[in-house]
Structure formats: structure tokens, C-alpha cells
Amino acid sequence: MPATRRAAVLGHPVAHSLSPTLHGAAYEALGLDGWRYTAIDTTVEQLPDLVRGLDLSWAGLSVTMPLKHAVMELVDHVDPLARAVGAVNTVLVSPAQCGVSLTGTNTDVHGLVQAIREGLAERHGTLAAPVRRAVVLGGGATAASTLAALGELGCTAPRVLARNLARTATLQEAAARMGVTPRYEVLDAGTAPEVLAGADVVVSTMPAYAADPVAASLRSQGVRAGGVLLDAVYDPRPTALSQAWAAAGGTVVGGERMLLHQAVEQVRLMTGRPGPVDAMDAALQQALGAEAA
């Protein structure tokens, strides 16, 4: 085994990624002196050549958009969860008879589950609080991982509010593979607050600023929020939706918590050692504080 092990996050653009901060903190805490983790700006067109160049000096890759679907066709194996969700965010490199074997997996689901549990624990004082009613805002790749996470938490029939139902075909296919049965509805900012207010958990997978009209309606209508909101966006931080939800009495979990926990799971898979949550969390908070300064 090579003395130096490499890992990286791939995406386009990727310079803003906090993954190097998280993984670097983990390597330091674990005493992995020969390990290094970088960010590599990679387009879909460049991805095949990069993947073909992986050797045993590599431990794995973190994969962000727009590569999560494309990379599935380039690995040797895709684990069942990633196959069901329809997205790979982690590639693991292992020895094989003729070089290396690449396995695609998905740690976004783990990150979502852990982040939601943090919010439930804050609101109810227990990680085991039931999730009976859930709402997902958005219908893209993160929404598919969210459906898997909610299913793991016991909610298999959430409501999905999307701006364009015609664009949810891929999500609906993923839901069918996972055995969950969401109710799909057009997102109407005017009526959304009442729907959200009755949920145990709301997960917004919408891009930055896209949920601002919903936030404005929450404020203007004065509804009371009784559950947990996880907003997958962490830039800007806090989002308008998070601020409106907190003002309505709800519990807010920032998207950086999902980012943290999916990275913790990636570290475990790539190194074979438990991800040091506290060290990684401290590095994340320091980085976010520096960005806000």
C-alpha cells in the first residue's frame, strides 16, 4: 500500500467546497500523516479520464454536482442505496486483480438522517422522536436522497412540493425503487405555509434564494411552525426560509449539518476508522465563522 493516500472532491465549480476542511481535520485528528485531500474542478466531460487514472494511491473521491449521475456509469460497482437513490456522491478505491476496483456509494442519505435527528433531539429531547408527517421542497437529486432519509426515519409517504412537476420524473422513478409513496404537488408560495406548519419535518432541497417566496409567505401569514426544518442550502447562511421558520417557532437545522455528517461517513468508508465528529465539526464552524467575518 502506498505511503501516501490521496482523496479529493470533484465538482464544477468546486473551489468553494468545505470538504477539504472537513477531511483534512479528520486526517489530523486520526493521525493520518500521509493522507491528503484536495479539490479538483472537474466537468462531466473530464470525469471519465480522471476516473480511469485512479490507482492504489487513491482512497476515494467525494463527488458533487453535476457529476453524481455521470459517475455511476464509470465505477465497477454501485451499492444498493446509491442505485435506488440514483446518485453516487462517494467513490471508494480498493485493490483488484487487474488494478483497482471502484465502488460508488451514497453518504448524503446518512448526512440527512443525522442532521434531521439533531433537529428532532433539539426539539423533542430525543433522537427517537417519530416522523409521521414530512414535506420536501424541491424535486432534484437531493430530494431523492431526502426521500430515502425520511424512509429510514419512518416516514414513507411525505409530501413533495416542486415548482415544476414535469421535472420530477427522475425523482418519481427513484421513489418507486425505494418503495416510498410521496404525494407530489405544485409548490405554491401562498398556500405552502399551512402545509409546512403541520409537518414534523420539512426539508428544503431548493437552490439558494429559490425558497424566498415561501419564507415571505410564512412571515406575512403568521403561521406557527411546530416541527424541524432542514435547509440543505448553507450559503447564504442563514437562509431567508430558515429565518422565517425560526421566527414562526420552528427548529432550524442548517445545511452545514448534513455536509458534516455525510463527510464523517465518507471518512469512515475511505479510512476504515470512525470519522472524528467533534474535530470535523470544530473545523467546520471555524471555516464558516471565517467566511462570515
**Region of residue 86 (left: phi > 0; alpha: psi -120 to 50; beta: else):** left
Chain mean pLDDT for the chain: 94
Is the pLDDT assigned to residue 159 strictly greater than 50?
yes
Residue pair 217/192 in contact (Cβ under 8 Å)? The answer is yes
How many CB atoms within 10 Å of residue 122? 13
Q: What backbone phi and psi angles, to 5 degrees, belong to 273?
A: -125, 150
Q: Is 248 helix (H, G, I), strand (E, B) or coil?
A: coil
What are the tens digits of pLDDT across the range 39-86?
999 999 999 999 999 999 999 999 998 899 999 999 999 999 999 999
Q: How confident is the model at residue 2 (pLDDT cuts 50, 70, 90)?
A: very low
Alpha-carbon distance values, 232 to 2, 37, 44, 52, 133 (Å):
37, 23, 23, 31, 19
What are the tens digits of pLDDT across the range 93-141?
999 988 899 999 999 999 999 999 999 999 988 777 789 999 999 998 8
DSSP state of 225: P
CA 241 to chain centre: 18
CA 157 to chain centre: 20
What are the tens digits of pLDDT across the range 207-247?
989 999 999 999 999 999 989 999 998 878 899 999 999 99
Residue pair 59/37 in contact (Cβ under 8 Å)? The answer is no
Query: CB under 8 Å, gap of 24 or more: what pairs does 40-47 form?
Result: 40/8, 40/9, 40/10, 40/14, 41/11, 41/12, 41/13, 41/14, 41/15, 42/10, 42/11, 42/12, 42/14, 42/67, 43/12, 44/12, 44/70, 47/10, 47/71, 47/74
Nine cell digits for residue 96: 483488484
How would DSSP label each residue in 252-265? EEEHHHHHHHHHHH
pLDDT of residue 69: 93
Alpha-carbon distance values, 282 to 38, 132, 257 (Å):
19, 33, 12
Q: How far apart are CA 254 and CA 168, in angstroms?
A: 25
pLDDT of residue 29: 98
Active site positions, annotated: 68
DSSP state of 207: P
